[in-house]
Structure 1
Amino acid sequence: MTETTHATGTAQLDPEEMMSRDEIEALQLKRLQHTVQYAYGRVPMYTKKFDDAGVHPSDLKKLDDLAKFPYTTKEDLRQTYPFGMFAVPMDQVARIHASSGTTGRPTVVGYTRQDLDDWAKLVARCMRLSGVKPGTMVHNAYGYGLFTGGQGAHAGAEKLGCTVIPISGGQTERQVQLIQDFQPETIMCTPTYLLTIHDAMVKAGVDPTSTSLKTAVLGAEPWTAEMRHELETKMNLNACDIYGLSEVMGPGVAGESFETKDGSHIWEDHFRPEIIDPFSDDILGDGEHGELVFTSLTKEALPIIRYRTHDLTRLLPGTARPGMRRMGRITGRSDDMIILRGVNLFPTQVEEIALRIPQLSPHFQLEITRPDRMDELTVKIERREEFTAEECVAAGRELGEQIKIHIGSSARIDIADPGTLARSSGKIRRIYDLRNKEQ
């Protein structure tokens, strides 16, 4: 258990955080062997999957043997809806979370009391690594409810020994007021919602650089180095990433150091990561870009074996925690990829280019249409307040040219007035596919 010392505002590291790489891998193998046997014996879907693949838990004799086992996908969770993936009786399930289900059946995840304790411990690790100290106040603007963000961040902050303001998402004007009144040092939310809070501060006449906020722990959506620079400069704080997804646990699977800011360290005492080619399914080596896959090592209610996250990144050696590997910054999601006239495009690529152009803001949307048999991309992006529409004509041309050069796709650029595009109150929607509406 993480020990905290409120008098000094410091927190001790968990012993596992100080393990060498060899010690971590020895622990992983022991826990992995238990997990595959546990899942095979308790979850009918895994029993069938392993049998169909001709593999048995006893075949896992070394870490590389994990490659023999089949992948788990979001569709597997949907097919076993609601509780078919649970490995314990319902009277041992302490909490249930679920996805929104906007693209089909929701994915449902469950936690035992031990799972909840582990989850809180790992979120606390992430926060401590990002510079959050015990005894400080945390403004938690992640959404509460079935989404794992709000409750996960809340429990981790309490575990670390912080005071939590459980504001959730939305009611942005009230968020601004409470930040002024309560003086929290830390904020937790999505990066695009922090941008929304910044804009609301400006609108209310509040100087965003003068608030009490010193640390932002941001996650739940991909964001770029350019977005980090935007937020840190405009709000005078340190912004660090926290990574997770509901099917694997929720936020807290990995966290970023405020000292190095070089990607999130994965808590490999609880999760075994892999990188695969998203098209061939081949396993890739450390340093190679591909799709992130996770296997849980300690989960009781919902063990997950080789879960395909669709997040595109790479694995790198640890720095702030040398025994734990890091994730490179997520470049996008394979299921968010736009294929436009044979060219692969991600929203983060547009964000990276746009934020290098001084006249353009981080608020943008991508619209895909098919007016005449051919797909067309329109980038709707707001200009910054300090520039007139006339001053942004050249900036729009530059954005189009840079997208063509660096991404290889033509795009129509539509410069919007400040405040006219939809704002985030949680996860931002970047892509609007209007092709089917036109047919």
Structure 2
Amino acid sequence: MKSKSLAEAIYFRSPVCVQDLLVSTYGYKLYQKRYSGSLYREILEQVRRCRSWNSAEIEAHQSERLHEIVKHCRSTIPYYQKVFADYGLHENDITSTEHVTRLPILNKETLRTHSEQFKHPGIKPFILQHTSGSTGKPLTLMVNEETYKLAMALLVEHEEHHGVQFGARRATFAGRMIQNADNMNPPFARMNWAENQKLFSSYHLNRDTFAWYRVELDRFQPVEIIGYPSAICDLAARYKDAGISPKFHPTTIVTNSETLLEWQRAIIEDVFDCKIADYYGTAEYVLFAGQGTDGTYHLNPLIGVTELQPNSDDDNAGRLIATSLTNTTMPLLRYDIGDTAVCKTDCRSGTVVHKLYSIEGRIDDYIETPDGRKIGRIDHIFKGVKGISEAQVIQDAVDHCTIRLITSSALPEAEMYVLKNNFSARTGGKLRLTVETVASIPRGANGKFKSVLRKTPKG
């Protein structure tokens, strides 16, 4: 931690040209770790091939790898040695994906509390993945080379599938702090020459600085914009408010790390005149789902087996449970990710799935009516409401919600009526509502936007 702080101190005190050099040097180091060597090339080719697999081919591959990882866990991983003994299980009891439900579900708190017991004794990880997740509690995960390079190949192939070749000019809008937040002097971007990537600050974009962003993007001419939906939507809203169209035409926009909301999609696709290719992955490297041209999320069969466990009255919605097929260094079997999703099959008894209709986001991202109904994807209340560039719903009492809006001008009475009517329809008229227009909506410490906040005890 001390060396990282020293490196950051040196970076922030350096002139911009040196910062570009430092970013590119670090980028080259990551490039070598992510994309170099025959193993990466072999994995990328397998990722490309598996896109065309049919159901039988997916089942055959996953069943074989599942049996192998289960055998590895029973013989090598301390936590699972005890689990298999307690449940009276043998690896031969799990020879197909449907057998995975014979194992208990693993929650984050168990993993966090007993993390040492999940490690392959004596094996050095290829990388350490540090994550705090939604709880803010730190968790360090050990990842082997195959899994890390597979995760990199999955994103590369996802971009290829949507028309962006590896190495194409890429503009990134995410949570990276490229200069001090109180330094409002341009430039607000740094160049990573190793990947032909320009890193734009999401923290410095406002009405006054938008002109710099617009000129720089026109100059850079990115083929792809990638990053947080909230950050890219903020950029798109600036164009919309200014009545200006970009002088570049990206092939696609790739969003990640936050739940992509429909009102965000509408603004982004309208301004940049191209489709969004959202994808969903996890810090634990147990799942990757890329949105296809049909709008659904296709779960990659190489990285993990995914199930849906019901958590509501909707038989097609449930909690995402995933099992790693590759990470032998710190394997996770039936890991409760903490996110929810919707599929088109009945998941009342728990179902292994290969495609998701939508990813709903964190299990906490819902509001709850006084009669106990949990309502997710509340962003649908903004459908048909014009003039909103950003919105957040806060449940601040058992029977009350506040909606924060950022708008280009005062919301007309007719639009306000539509919004309130949509909210009442979704909540059954059980919640009182206050609507506030604000200048900005705070992000989390990691720069991510949270569309729903619950400040009441969770049921």
**Contact 2:277–2:291, Cα closer than 8 Å, also in 1:** yes
Residue 166 of structure 1, CA deviation:
4.4
Query: Does residue 116 of the first structure (1) align with residue 148 of the second (2)?
Result: yes
**Contact 2:66–2:96, Cα closer than 8 Å, also in 1:** no
Residue 429 of structure 1, CA deviation:
2.1
Aligned equivalent of 1:378 = 402
Query: Does residue 94 of the first structure (1) align with residue 126 of the second (2)?
Result: yes
Residue 413 of structure 1, CA deviation:
3.1
**How does 1:420-439 map onto structure 2 within 5 Å?**
420-422=440-442, 426-435=447-456
Letter in 1 for 2:300: W
Is the alpha carbon distance of 1:262 and 1:32 closer, same or farther for their aligned partners in structure 2, counting shifts above 3 Å? same
**Alignment counterpart, residue 244 of structure 2, candidates 200, 207, 212:** 207
CA distance in 2, matches of 1:84, 1:26: 30
Query: Does residue 327 of the first structure (1) align with residue 361 of the second (2)?
Result: no
Q: Structure 1 length normalisation: TM-score? A: 0.77
**Contact 1:400–1:410, Cα closer than 8 Å, also in 2:** no
**Contact 1:143–1:426, Cα closer than 8 Å, also in 2:** yes
**Alignment counterpart, residue 188 of structure 1, candidates 218, 222, 226:** 226
CA distance in 2, matches of 1:354, 1:291: 25
Residue 79 of structure 1, CA deviation:
0.7
Query: Does residue 85 of the first structure (1) align with residue 118 of the second (2)?
Result: yes
Q: State the SS of the aligned residue for 1:139.
A: strand
CA distance in 2, matches of 1:187, 1:341: 41
Aligned equivalent of 1:152 = none
Aligned equivalent of 2:90 = 56
Percent identity, please. Answer: 20
Aligned equivalent of 1:365 = 392
**How does 1:138-157 map onto structure 2 within 5 Å?**
138-143=170-175
Query: Does residue 348 of the first structure (1) align with residue 377 of the second (2)?
Result: yes
Aligned equivalent of 1:151 = none
Residue 78 of structure 1, CA deviation:
1.3
Instruction: Provide the aligned C-alpha RMSD in A.
Output: 3.4
**Contact 1:196–1:423, Cα closer than 8 Å, also in 2:** no
CA distance in 1, matches of 2:368, 2:156: 39
Aligned equivalent of 2:290 = 255
Aligned equivalent of 2:410 = 388
**How does 1:396-411 map onto structure 2 within 5 Å?**
396-408=416-428, 409-411=430-432
Q: State the SS of the aligned residue for 1:197.
A: helix
Query: Does residue 312 of the first structure (1) align with residue 340 of the second (2)?
Result: yes
Alignment length (residue pairs): 389
Letter in 2 for 1:430: S
CA distance in 2, matches of 1:358, 1:116: 42
Residue 177 of structure 1, CA deviation:
5.3
CA distance in 2, matches of 1:279, 1:20: 31
- Structure 2 spans left out of the alignment, 5+ residues: 1-38, 178-191, 346-352
Query: Does residue 103 of the first structure (1) align with residue 135 of the second (2)?
Result: yes
Query: Does residue 293 of the first structure (1) align with residue 328 of the second (2)?
Result: no
Query: Does residue 26 of the first structure (1) align with residue 64 of the second (2)?
Result: no
Residue 77 of structure 1, CA deviation:
2.1
CA distance in 2, matches of 1:247, 1:13: 19
Is the alpha carbon distance of 1:166 and 1:88 closer, same or farther for their aligned partners in structure 2, counting shifts above 3 Å? farther
Query: Does residue 133 of the first structure (1) align with residue 155 of the second (2)?
Result: no
Q: State the SS of the aligned residue for 2:364.
A: helix
**Contact 1:366–1:432, Cα closer than 8 Å, also in 2:** yes
**Contact 2:170–2:222, Cα closer than 8 Å, also in 1:** yes
**Contact 1:222–1:348, Cα closer than 8 Å, also in 2:** no
Q: State the SS of the aligned residue for 1:240.
A: coil
CA distance in 1, matches of 2:390, 2:199: 26
Q: State the SS of the aligned residue for 2:95.
A: coil
Residue 185 of structure 1, CA deviation:
0.9
Write out per-residue CA displacement over residues 41-98 of structure 1, whole angstroms, 9 at most, x where no aligned residue.
33222222333333232211332111101111111221134x54332635x3122122
CA distance in 2, matches of 1:179, 1:228: 20
Residue 278 of structure 1, CA deviation:
2.7
Residue 243 of structure 1, CA deviation:
0.7
Is the alpha carbon distance of 1:169 and 1:89 closer, same or farther for their aligned partners in structure 2, counting shifts above 3 Å? farther
CA distance in 2, matches of 1:48, 1:279: 32
Letter in 2 for 1:421: I
Q: State the SS of the aligned residue for 1:331.
A: strand
Is the alpha carbon distance of 1:197 and 1:40 closer, same or farther for their aligned partners in structure 2, counting shifts above 3 Å? farther
Residue 29 of structure 1, CA deviation:
0.8
Q: State the SS of the aligned residue for 1:238.
A: coil
Query: Does residue 265 of the first structure (1) align with residue 265 of the second (2)?
Result: no
Q: State the SS of the aligned residue for 2:395.
A: strand
Is the alpha carbon distance of 1:101 and 1:420 closer, same or farther for their aligned partners in structure 2, counting shifts above 3 Å? closer
